[in-house]
Amino acid sequence: MHAILSAGLLTFAITAQAVPNMWSSGFGMGVTEYIITSPENVMLNLNCTGNPDDQNILQHHVMLTLPDGSG
């Protein structure tokens, strides 16, 4: 019983809840991610890495996703 409850709570804690006009953030594998979603379901995603590539360059990314999934 405790394993099922723990798994359910862990699953809920891991999922990202997209709240309009509110920044959310996360971190994994050396990448920090900041996301904000508008009420029109347009999502801005900023990725900042702390691990340089082979040329010693930090690979940061900015992604814009439109409501139709394009971006």
Prediction pTM value: 0.62
The answer to whether the CB of 45 falls within 8 A of the CB of 60 is: no
CA distance 58 to 51: 6
Q: What is the pLDDT of residues 38-63, one digit of tens each?
A: 999 999 999 999 888 899 999 999 99
What pLDDT does 18 receive? Answer: 55
> How many Å apart are CA 47 and CA 34, to the nearest integer?
7
Tell me what the pLDDT averaged over the chain comes to. Answer: 79
For the CA atoms of the chain, what is the radius of gyration?
Answer: 16
Q: How far apart are CA 68 and CA 24, in angstroms?
A: 21
Range 8-28 average pLDDT: 65
Specify the amino acid at residue 47. N
